[in-house]
Chain A
Amino acid sequence: MSEREGSQREREMSEREGSHGSHPAPIERQLDRMTPAEAMRAGAELDGVHIVHKRERFPVPGTKAERRAERAVALCFVLTFVAVVAFTVIFIAAPWHYSLTDNSYTWFTPLLGLTMALALAGIGVGAVLWAKWLMPEEEAVQDRHDGRSPEVDRQTTVATLVDGWNDTGLARRSVLKRAFGLGVGALGALAIVPLGGFIKKPKDELVSTPWKAGLRLVDMGGRPIRPGDMMPGSLATVFPGVPGGLKAPDAPTMLIRLRPGQTVQPRPGQEDYGWEDYVAFSKICTHAGCPVSLYEQQTGRILCPCHQSQFDVTLDAKPVFGPASRSLPALAITVDADGYFVAKGDYREPIGPSFWERP
């Protein structure tokens, strides 16, 4: 009998009887006489589950084969115990400190992973083998109906829902409905209001940086830079020479000395931003704020490692490739009386990615 015919027969049967399952429920007197196995079967039949066959793996208990299977399953669980002990010992005792001379610390993490995997595998394999080797072999079939539920079930379910709605009386009691809506809505505000603590109106930190007129350009070590310090075709990351300038997130600037023959076409209003063959640009990408310092000294291109934007230094750091749409802001530089590079002022435009109120 094919599955389709079987389920069709089942539907006809359940429609005729008006209930699921093909067996009538046992009466109390019958239940008293049933063994647990028989009661389980009867319960399954009530739920439409037919146990086709069920038999012990080892019909004669205590054979050599059964004991062997039992030992193998037990071994899996013992393996888990041993692996957990090993994990604990390794975690406490194995060397894990970084060392230049002794490489044994490199075993720490792999060994932890290995023992943890063994412990989990022991439980898993043991459970599967227990079911496959020792528990009774069983095959069961459950009745399922095709398509939608019988008409009776559908109509009674809808009636239950409609009756429940009518019991609340919300359709008639409009004051209650509005008051309820008000209360529940206010409860929502309870979740939203504390989020307000995270909102901060930025002052001018989006449009200004620590750079000021006369501030020296210093390197990572705080050393001011002279024009003679850099060779043609070089790049240095510089910071404003003020306390905290090294850590200011919007201050890092690239000081670039062009190669002989390279010139910059300045943007309007930035004609005097460079100093001889030196130019300075913000190191923060105008797309997503990554540090752009992949500098190709021959092509004069600055690359952003995050999304492959490219800026052409000879076009005043105009984007020539990738998602960035604005030029890197240029820092106006000059040389002070002592011969060190200084800024002529703050950046003329906000550095970094765009934001809503960006002018």
Chain B
Amino acid sequence: MTDPPPSAKTPSRLARLRRRLSGAAALGAVLIVVGVGYTAAASAGTPGGARAATQPQDSVEVRKGRHLYEEGCITCHGMILQGVQNRGPSLIGVGQAAVYFQVITGRMPVARQEAQASRKQPKYTPEEVDQIAAYVQSVGGGPVIPGGNLRDGDLAEGGELFRINCASCHNFAGRGGALSAGKRAPELTPATDKELYGAMLSGPQNMPVFGENQITPEQKRAIINYVQTLKQTKDPGGSGIGRLGPVPEGLVIWIVGIGALILTILWIGAKS
């Protein structure tokens, strides 16, 4: 019983060491949790801020897209897609659908500020459009145009959906029409399947948005099938006169038809 100290000393040193180690481990764990949590919170709070600098895990497409964005879009849509007052809206959350539609149809970049951006020769190649869209999607997220065949829907259902949702602005034959204050619904003639899908999904400019829960993907494909079929069909009465309906038809009858009659009458009168 005279040498308990060493035997007692050894366990007490071991216990101290163990306490220190566990303390360090706890501190480390807390630090890791706080660090990870802070990073997550920071990236959730300011998505653009955290992702504006290209991350090493970003794909080549996104990096190229970011490059193109910083060359052509940043002036109006801002460093982190937040938008610039009186120049361009925020692109956070608009998604690949909106970017694809706006850039592939040449509406973006706009030439000038006016009532509405018009379709024109696109500034970017399809690959570049996909790269910009991938970049905007990677930063802000949002709806994405699905791949595959976008035209395999039911034709009759597409027609019914088109007439109730689209025809009021785009005309029953997809030829577009006027809106207020210089704005207009464009004609659908030059639109591709993917552009039609993107337009419905993103609601460009003053067009209402038709989300995937309001008009399901199957219904959207049906509408696209109907629109593209409508464009291919020929006019059974000869000339469609722009397919704008009774107004141009009446105009042609009155000006061309009655005009020809009057000229004939004048000619007969001059002959005798």
Contact = CB atoms under 8 A, between A and B. Distances in A.
B213 A235 contact: no
A169 to B, nearest CB: 52
Contacts of B238: 106, 109-110, 113
B234 A230 contact: no
B251 to A, nearest CB: 18
A104 to B, nearest CB: 10
Contact of A297 (B164, B208, B236): B208
Nearest to A111: B238
Given A103-B234, A305-B177, A220 B208 contact: no
A299 interface: yes
A295 interface: yes
B168 interface: yes
Contacts of B179: 294, 296, 303
Contacts of A231: 203, 209-211, 214
Indicate the member of B180, B181, B208, B233 with the most A CB atoms within 10 Å.
B208
A198 interface: no
A210 interface: no
Given A100-B229, A291-B168, A296-B183, A233 B209 contact: yes
Contacts of B214: 219, 225, 229-231, 234, 236
Interface in A209-260: 219-220, 225-226, 228-237
A321 interface: yes
Contact of B206 (A98, A229, A299, A321): A299
B236 A303 contact: no
A334 interface: no
A301 interface: yes
A301 B207 CA distance: 11
A100 B153 CA distance: 16
Nearest to A226: B213
Contacts of A305: 168, 177
Contacts of B207: 297
B181 to A, nearest CB: 8
B229 A301 contact: no
A220 B180 contact: no
Contact of A298 (B185, B205, B236, B237): B205
B79 interface: no
A255 to B, nearest CB: 10
A108 interface: yes
A220 B160 contact: yes
A98 B164 CA distance: 23
Contact of B209 (A293, A297, A310): A297
Nearest to A296: B206
Contacts of A226: 213
Given A230-B211, A293-B168, A321-B180, A220 B161 contact: yes
Nearest to B183: A296
Nearest to A114: B238
A296 B180 contact: yes
A230 B185 CA distance: 21
22 contacts: A98-B236, A100-B232, A106-B238, A109-B236, A109-B237, A110-B238, A229-B213, A230-B214, A231-B214, A233-B208, A233-B209, A291-B168, A293-B168, A294-B179, A295-B208, A296-B206, A297-B203, A297-B208, A298-B206, A299-B180, A301-B180, A303-B180
Closest 6 CB pairs of A and B: A231-B211, A296-B206, A229-B213, A231-B209, A106-B234, A234-B209
Interface of B: 160-161, 164-165, 168-169, 177, 179-181, 183, 185, 203, 205-211, 213-214, 229, 232-238
Given A297-B208, A310-B180, 8 more contacts: A98-B236, A106-B234, A106-B236, A109-B238, A230-B209, A230-B214, A231-B210, A297-B207
